[in-house]
Amino acid sequence: MTKVYFACSIRGGGDTSLYEKIIGAIKQAGGEVLSEIFVHDAIHLGGSPLPVDQIYRRDIAMIQACDAVIAEVTNPSLGVGYELAYAEQLGKPILCLFNPDSSRKLSGMVAGNPYNTVYETNGDNLDEIIDDFLA
């Protein structure tokens, strides 16, 4: 089973229904989502109730333990950017998902990085994209 770190904007807001769809697609593809708690925290708490030093240590440990990173990058997030750079430094495969129906623009640093695999999706073809990435 592939261990996946799912990165998404939590404190800065984001499309939590899309986050849930991504988690479901990862599981459908046979992946284990190490960071599934993020979606719960984003929906119910507006972020993790943990102290920031514990959030940092927890998230870094999950990135170190994962086999791949899948990030929802439509809503700009300093935390997600940091996580992507850290995962790249560790040599983890990275899939970035961006919703083209959004009024936002994808960061040039994310879109232009040849290390990242970037797909535009509004959620309709998530199963196919994630299956291909995790295969």
Domains of the chain: total: 1
Which residues form the domain of 86?
3-134
The set of residues, in sequence order, having a beta carbon less than 8 Å from that of 47 and lying 6+ positions away, is 10, 11, 41
pLDDT at residue 16, as a whole number? 82
pLDDT at residue 12, as a whole number? 76
Q: How many residues does the chain have?
A: 135
CATH number at residue 71: 3.40.50.450
User: CA 116 from chain center: how many Å?
Assistant: 12
pLDDT tens readout for residues 52-82:
899 899 999 999 999 999 999 999 999 999 9
pLDDT at residue 115, as a whole number? 97
Q: What are the residue ranges of helices labelled H in the chain?
A: 16-28, 37-44, 52-65, 78-90, 108-111, 126-134
- Please tell me the pTM assigned to this model: 0.94
